[in-house]
Structure 1
C-alpha cells in the first residue's frame, strides 16, 4: 500500500502514543498547527536537534512521515508534492549538516517559486557561542543568515510562547504571493519547553484586488490579427490552467509554454504550439520567427531556459504584454509595452469578462525535431522511441518528473503532456539528481496515479539511494534511466564549444544491480519493443507496490533537441553575450 512506513521483509515498529491530555511541549503545539492547517505528509531525516518534533508526530497519525536517505532529497520530494498537489511541502531536518544539506533544494525551490516549509532543528540556545554540537547560530555557521539568500523568509523561533503564531506566519509567507521556501530554525530547548496550547486561528493572506490597466490588454488583443500566448509555470497554480484554456479558445489564439510549464496547456489541443525554449518544438520557434502582432506573456521570468538563450524571436510587432505576480520581473529581460503585476488566474478571469468569442480556427499543432523519425527506427533503441513506448503503455494522466541533462531535453521535446500537473522538474538552478525525489513526493500526493522519474545515468548516480525510500514506503514509481554511460550534456557541450572533452564516463555502473539492492525491480531496455512488452508484463505480474527501474541503453547517435543551448554557452564563453535591455532602462508601461 502506498505510504506504508514498513518495507518488505521488515518488522513493524509501533511506538507508544502519549496521552494528549498531558501538558504540551512546543513541539506538540507546532505539530498541532500542521494538522490544523491541513498538512498530511512531512519529509525529512531525523536527528537529535529535531527529535522532539518527530516524537510529537507519533501522537498525530493524521500526518504521514516519509524518511528519505538524504536531506536534500527530502526537499526535492516536498517540491514534487507541492508542484503536483498545489499544497505546502513540509520538511523536517536536524541542525548543522542536516540543514546545510537542504540548501540545493531550498535554492531550487526559491528560484522555481515552490511552497516548501523547512523546520530545522537547532542546538539549545544555552550552547550558542560555546561550540555546541552541530550549532548553527550566528556565532557559528549562521544557518538563518545563509538561508536568507535562498528562501523568501528565514528566522529562528526564540521562545516557546511565540512558536505557534510564528509557524502560521511562515506557512502564510510560503503559500501566498509568489510562492517560495521558508526556513524556521527551532532551538532544542524551545521545542522541549512545556506550554499551554494556543487557540489562535490561521492567518489569512490578503486577497489581491482587480489589477488596473487590463483595458489596455483587452484593446491590444482585440486590435491584433496575429496574437500568441506564452505561459510559464506561474500559470500552474489554482485555476490558472483551466482559465488559460478558456482564454485561448475564446481568442482562438495559439499557445506555447516554457519547458517548466509543459502541459499547463494540453499539448494535444489544436491551438498548442508546444514548448518554446531549450528542448522546445520547431512549431513554436517557427511561429515566432514569422512574427506576431501581440505576445501575451504570463507567469514566467523569461530566463535563459524559457527563452532559448534570450532569443530575438521572442518579440511582438505591436505589443509585448507581460503579466507576472512578481513586479520586478516585468521589463527586466525584454522591452515591455504593457506590464501587469498580478496572479495569472486573476488576470485570465478578468479578461474573459471582456473578450468576445472569435471564429473557430486551427492555428496550432506541434511539430518536432527533424529527427523524430528516430522514434520508429531500429536497434539500439533511441531515447525518443523509448519515451514513445512509455506513453503507449502507461495511463494518459501519468506524472513525469525530469532531471537535468540530456534526459530533460528528450523528455521536454518528445513527451506529449495534457495535464497541468503531469510534468514536473526544477529548472531554476538545473540541479542534477532531482527527479527521483520529485517522483517520491508526487507519488505520495497522488497514490492512485502512475509516476515516472526520467533521469540520466549521472543523475541516477546522485539520487539512487532514494529508491530505498520509495521501496520502504511502498511507492510504485518507475525510474527511467536514459543511460549513455557518461555525463552526456557536459561531454557534448565541451565538444561543441572547445572541440574536445575530458573523460566524463560514469562506468562502471550496474543500474539494475543497484536498483535490486535498494528494493526495486529492474529491466534492461536495449531494443524497440522492450518497454512495450516488459513494462506491461511487469505491471500485470507483480502488481504496483514497489519501484521499477528501466536501464535504457539508448543510441547516442540520435540528435538531441538542444536548440540554441551550445550556441549560447559559446557566446557566454567568448564574451559576446550582450544584454538587450538595461535594468535601469526598462521600457515598461507598468499599469498597476
Structure 2
C-alpha cells in the first residue's frame, strides 16, 4: 500500500468530504433515492457538479451502481435513506458481491444525539440496524460514529472494495455528522500496489507439461481481471481448448478454433462431449465452480487434476474432488507472468474441435407455432446486433437460451451472474453501464417476470436520455420454475400470470419506445430502429412460446 496524503487544510462539510472522495475515485454519477437523512449528501453531490441519478427503487440504484462500476472499471456508489431505503438496497448489495463489483452503499441515519428515542426509519440498534443487515452481503459495513473518524472509515471502505476479491462495502452515516465541518487535510488515500505473483507458478508449468488432454474453464472472475488477451494467448500457445462457465460467457469468443462454448447449465454439446471423453488437467480461471458451472460433472468424468486461479481461496478444491493446485492472486498478473516465462517451444496439445458449439435448434421442438422460439430469437439477435454490442443477461430462461445460441464476437461483451441471480438485475446493470459508456451499444436480455420486479427503472433510462435496448422475452410466466416443477413433479403451481404484462405498452407509458413482436421480421425492424435511436430507451417485447424447453435439463438431475 502507498500512503498519499492530501496536503490541503481547507475546512469542509463532511458531506463535501464524502463527495470529493467519491469523485476522486473516478466516479461522476451516484445512483439512489433521496430521503431526509441523506439530503446534505445529495445537495453536495449536486453542488460538486456530479450527477445524482434518481432511480425508481433503491434496489435498482444498487444494480445501476454495479453496472456502472463494471463498465467504468471504478467505484460505483448507491445512496439510500435510513430504514427502508437501506433494506431496499440489500439485495443489490448481495448481487454486487456475486459480481465482485466495488460498490459503496451509503445509507442515512438519524442524528446521533437522538439515538435511543423512538424514531421513524431508525437505522440504529433501536430500530432496523442497517450495519448488521448489510454485514453478510458486504466486505465491510460500519456506522460512522464521529466526524473525526470519517476519513478513516472512507479509507477502509475503499481498501476493502478495491483490493483482494473486490466487492461491495457499506457505510451508515448520521445526518448530523454529514453537516459537521472537517479539516480536509486529515484525508488519507491509499493506492493498492500490483498484486503479488503466486508461488505455485513453477508447479503450473510442471503439471501442464505432463498433461495430454487438458482444458481451460473460464469463469466470471476473468471479466473482473480483464484477462481476455492473456487467456487467449495461453490457449493458443499450448493449443488448449477453452470452455466457459455460464457466468464466464463473454470472456472468450465463441468462434475461435479452440472454443468449446459454455459448460454446465445452458452449455454447448461440444463442451459436454469433450468433458465426457476425459480431461486429465482442468485449468479453472476465475470461477467458484458453483452448481450451475459443475452441472455437467459426475463421478465418471471428474478431471484427474485441477489448477484453479482465484483471488479468493474460499471455494478452491471444494466443488470437484480432484487434486487441486491454487494459483492465488489477480488472474491477469499471474497469467502475464506465466506467459513471460513460457518456454519458447512449449508442448502443443493435440486438439481439433469437430463438434458444433451451438446446439441445433430443434432439441425440444415446440408445438406452438403462433409464438416465437426463444432459441431462434437468440440466433436472430446475434445476426442483427453489431459485434461490439455489450449485453447483460438477466436471470431466467431467456439467458440460458443465450448461453447456448447467442455467440460472443468480442471478449468482454456479455455479462451474466450464475451465483446469486437476482431477477431484474440485468435491467439496472444495463442502465448503469450505459451511464458509464453512453457511446457504446448496451442491451439487456430479460423476461416478463424480471420486468414485473424492476421494469420501472426503464423510466430512469428515459429521464437520463439513455438509448439502452431492452429485450423482454414474454411467455406469461416464471418460465424456469414452470419447467422445473413440471419436469420433477409433473405439474406447476403459482408460476403463471393470470393477467400478462404488455411490456411495450408499459414502456410507452414510461416515456420509452415500445415494440411488441410476434414475427422475426418485426424483431428485425424494431432492432434496426433501436440502433438508430439517439436518446430514448427501446423495449422490444418478444412474444415467445410457453412450452419451449430452455437448455436447463441438468438442473433437474
Look up the match of 1:333. 319
Look up the match of 2:485. 494
Of 356, 359, 365, the residue aligned with 1:369 is 359
**Higher mean C-alpha deviation, range 106-115 or range 243-252:** 106-115
Look up the match of 1:304. 291
Offset of 1:206 from its aligned partner?
Answer: 4.7
Offset of 1:309 from its aligned partner?
Answer: 6.8
Give per-residue Cα distances to partners, 1:505-534, cap 9 Å, x unaligned.
222322221110011111111112221223
Give per-residue Cα distances to partners, 1:377-397, cap 9 Å, x unaligned.
976321122222222222111
Of 273, 286, 293, the residue aligned with 2:273 is 286
Of 65, 85, 88, the residue aligned with 1:78 is 65
Given the alignment of the two structures, is residue 30 of structure 1 paired with residue 18 of structure 2, yes or no?
A: yes
**Higher mean C-alpha deviation, range 297-306 or range 502-511:** 502-511
Q: Distance in 1 between the 2:312 and 2:122 partners?
A: 35
What is the RMSD of the two structures over their aligned residues, measured on CA atoms? 2.3
Give per-residue Cα distances to partners, 1:321-367, cap 9 Å, x unaligned.
12211122211222333222222112211221333345597634652
Aligned length: 543
Instruction: Provide closer, same or farther for how the CA distance between residues 134 and 366 of structure 1 changes in structure 2, counting only shifts above 3 A.
Output: farther
Matches within 5 A, 1:28-67: 28-61=16-49, 63-67=50-54
Look up the match of 1:511. 503
Q: Distance in 2 between the 1:201 and 1:314 partners?
A: 52
Matches within 5 A, 1:416-431: 416-431=407-422
Offset of 1:312 from its aligned partner?
Answer: 4.1
Q: Distance in 2 between the 1:96 and 1:137 partners?
A: 9
Q: Distance in 1 between the 2:90 and 2:364 partners?
A: 39
Offset of 1:57 from its aligned partner?
Answer: 1.0
**Higher mean C-alpha deviation, range 255-264 or range 338-347:** 338-347
> Are 1:307 and 1:314, in contact at CA under 8 Å, matched by a contact in 2?
no
Matches within 5 A, 1:235-250: 235-250=222-237
Of 518, 526, 542, the residue aligned with 1:526 is 518
With normalisation by structure 1, the TM-score equals 0.87
Give per-residue Cα distances to partners, 1:116-173, cap 9 Å, x unaligned.
1101111111121212221111222211012111111101111112212321221121
Q: Distance in 1 between the 2:539 and 2:12 partners?
A: 45
Offset of 1:537 from its aligned partner?
Answer: 3.8
Offset of 1:370 from its aligned partner?
Answer: 3.6
Q: Distance in 2 between the 1:397 and 1:94 partners?
A: 38
Q: Distance in 1 between the 2:501 and 2:104 partners?
A: 35
Q: Distance in 2 between the 1:23 and 1:87 partners?
A: 27
Gaps of 5+ in 1: 1-20, 568-592
Give per-residue Cα distances to partners, 1:406-432, cap 9 Å, x unaligned.
112112211111333321233322211
Q: Distance in 1 between the 2:512 and 2:365 partners?
A: 28
Instruction: Provide closer, same or farther for how the CA distance between residues 262 and 152 of structure 1 changes in structure 2, counting only shifts above 3 A.
Output: same
Offset of 1:374 from its aligned partner?
Answer: 9.0
> Are 2:393 and 2:414, in contact at CA under 8 Å, matched by a contact in 1?
yes
Give per-residue Cα distances to partners, 1:415-457, cap 9 Å, x unaligned.
1113333212333222111111011011112211111111111
